[in-house]
Amino acid sequence: MNTQSNTSKLAKMAMLVAVSIVLVALIHLPILPMVPFLEYDPADIPILLGTFAFGPVAGLCLTFVTAILQGVTVSAQSGAYGILMHIIATSALVLVAGLIYSRNKTKKNAILGLVFGTLAMVLIMIPANMLITTKFMGLTLEALMPFMPWIILFNFIKAGVNSIVTFLVYKRISPFLHR
């Protein structure tokens, strides 16, 4: 790649990070009354768009930058815990989705990548919550366990909705990202 192409890609990735942070500032709402502390946000949509456009490594970079900037600005109340959980959850989603889609950029692979990425996020967040949430929140595992089915459902809904929206908008946004 030449310098102009790298600069263009970096600028587009920065724009995706900015859109992600603005989306979180505008849209963050509890979706399950049983776990109102878990809020849906569409931050992963621009990250997934960047992953499909630029590959899984770029998706991981977008994840780290977005999680850190979001964690010190619009989601500062969640602190290091929120940043870490965002990185773990979104990394699983974008890494799996990006690896599957990048092998052969077809509609079928986009769907498979998003489905398996959603499942990866849901599955990785089970031990992440059991290990990290208990430490950061000062909970025992026994105190957390009644919430686990709701946390799993929340992660499935969040990743699923963000994956569906990504699938619906990617082809419309793709020409801009590849220009």
156: CATH: 1.10.1760.20
**Structural domain contains residue 65:** yes
Name residues whose C-beta falls within 8 Å of residue 2's C-beta, 6 or more positions apart in sequence: none
Q: Which DSSP symbol is given to 179? A: -
Structural domain count, the chain: 1
pLDDT digits (tens, 9 = 90+) for 69-90: 999 999 989 999 999 999 999 9
**Structural domain contains residue 147:** yes
59/63 Cα distance (integer angstroms): 6
**Domain extent at residue 107:** 3-28+41-178
**High-pLDDT (> 90) share of the chain, %:** 94
Q: What is the mean pLDDT of the chain?
A: 96
**Structural domain contains residue 10:** yes
Q: At what angle do helices 3-26 and 56-72 cross, to 10 degrees?
A: 50
Place of tokens 């799996």: 96
**Structural domain contains residue 155:** yes
159/175 Cα distance (integer angstroms): 24
pLDDT digits (tens, 9 = 90+) for 87-100: 999 999 999 999 99
**Structural domain contains residue 34:** no
Structure tokens, 89 = 């959850």
The band of 20, judged by pLDDT with boundaries at 50, 70 and 90, is very high
**Structural domain contains residue 145:** yes
Average pLDDT over residues 22-35: 96
**Structural domain contains residue 35:** no
**Structural domain contains residue 157:** yes
pTM of this structure? 0.96
pLDDT, position 1: 57
| Residue 159 vs residues 54, 61, 125, 139, 141: alpha-carbon distances, Å | 20, 18, 11, 25, 24
